[in-house]
Each structure stands twice: as C-alpha cells, then as structure tokens.
A = this chain, B = another copy of it.
Amino acid sequence: MFKEISTDQAFMLIEPGNLVLLTTRDNAKNNLMPISWIMPMDFCAKFALVTGRWNYSCIALEKTRQCVLAIPPSSIIKKAVSAGNISGDEVEDKFKECGFTPLQAGDVCAPLVAECIANIECKVIEHIKRHDIFILSGIRAWINPKLRKAKRIHAVGNGTFIEDGKTINLKNFMIKRPNVKDI
C-alpha cells in the first residue's frame, strides 16, 4: 500500500504547511496528535516542531526519541481533528478511538498511519527544551500512490481549516530552486 520514496523528497510533505499527525509509541501504547507547529529546516529531511509536556506525545518523544509524521488527506479531516480533542493518557488506544489504523514502520517504534497520504519516520536529533523545539531527522519516507494528489488541510488556529486549492506551476520562473524529483 505504501511505496518508499527518497527522504530527499520528504520536505515537500511538510513545506506547504499542511496539518501533520505526529505518532509515537511508548510502553506498547500507540499515540497520535495533530500538529501544525512544524517546519522544514533543509532540503534534506530535517524538521523542527514545537510541542511541550502539556501534550502526552511529548513525553514519548522525549523518551523514545522516535516518531512518525503522517500527512492526512482532507477527506479525513474530522478524524484528524478528533485526535486533538482527547489526550492519549485518557484512552487505552487512541488510534482505535479516533478511527486510525497503525502500521508497523520500517526503522522506528512509532507506527505509520494507514489512512494518510504519506508517512515520514523520524529520529529526534536534539530537544531544545527552553523553547519546546524538537529537531527531527527523517530516516525513511512512504507514500500511498493512490493518495499522491489528495488535497491536504491547513489549520488556521481558530477552529477553521483551509483545504488545498489549485496548483500553480512556476518551475520555469523560479530559477533558484532545489533540483528535486516530484513526489
């Protein structure tokens, strides 16, 4: 179902600023939360995200230093947002509670999310505690070819979301850009 892609393409899963589901696994318990405070830091798979101990996921991230960044299509926006309505410490199985299917990842303990467009397996390379910033390195990336063109969602922050609209191609106009293969 998921096809592996180069981690050099993974920044394009984050750069448009779409909503991400962050998955972790600790004490044999899977967890996931929606996150939009995340950004690429390079054209290779290096990312920064902000989360603190007010989120249950933060503790697993600190402890295991592994996670998955999963990209939900807009068709499952309610499921994705529901993951922000409850905390992982309130339920036994948050994936089940929110209607998600965990899949075994290749190299990290955190699960992939079957319903998502793509998944990036990451390791924590640094935790800048004073700012609640985690610096992540993407080590493997996976895409569901059937969802390659699916619309993604962007959180506004006030309880509304914006779905992807039309694509504008400026490849020939943008002269300083990385030579990267389309996803």
- Please report A residues at the B interface, Cβ cutoff 8 Å: 11-12, 15-18, 36-43, 48-50, 74, 77-78, 81-82, 84-85, 126, 128, 131-133, 135, 151, 153-178, 180-182
3 nearest A-B residue pairs (beta carbon): A17-B17, A165-B165, A159-B171
Interchain Cβ contacts under 8 Å between A and B, 30 examples: A11-B157, A15-B154, A15-B155, A15-B156, A16-B17, A16-B155, A16-B162, A37-B41, A39-B39, A39-B48, A39-B49, A40-B50, A43-B157, A48-B48, A48-B50, A48-B133, A77-B168, A84-B174, A133-B133, A158-B177, A158-B181, A158-B182, A159-B174, A161-B168, A162-B165, A162-B167, A163-B165, A163-B168, A164-B165, A165-B166
Enumerate chain B residues within 8 angstroms of A41, measured Cβ to Cβ. Answer: 37, 50, 131-133
Is B170 within 8 A of A77, CB to CB? yes
Enumerate chain B residues within 8 angstroms of A84, measured Cβ to Cβ. Answer: 174, 176
With both beta carbons as reference points, the residue of chain B lying nearest to A171 in the complex is identified as B159
Enumerate chain B residues within 8 angstroms of A12, measured Cβ to Cβ. Answer: 156-158
CB of A6, distance to nearest CB on chain B (Å):
13
- Bound together, the chains give a CA A157 to CA B16 distance in angstroms of 8
- Bound together, the chains give a CA A25 to CA B138 distance in angstroms of 35
Is B170 within 8 A of A161, CB to CB? yes
- Bound together, the chains give a CA A74 to CA B37 distance in angstroms of 22
With both beta carbons as reference points, the residue of chain B lying nearest to A153 in the complex is identified as B168
Is A170 within 8 A of B17, CB to CB? no
Is A162 within 8 A of B162, CB to CB? no
With both beta carbons as reference points, the residue of chain B lying nearest to A151 in the complex is identified as B165
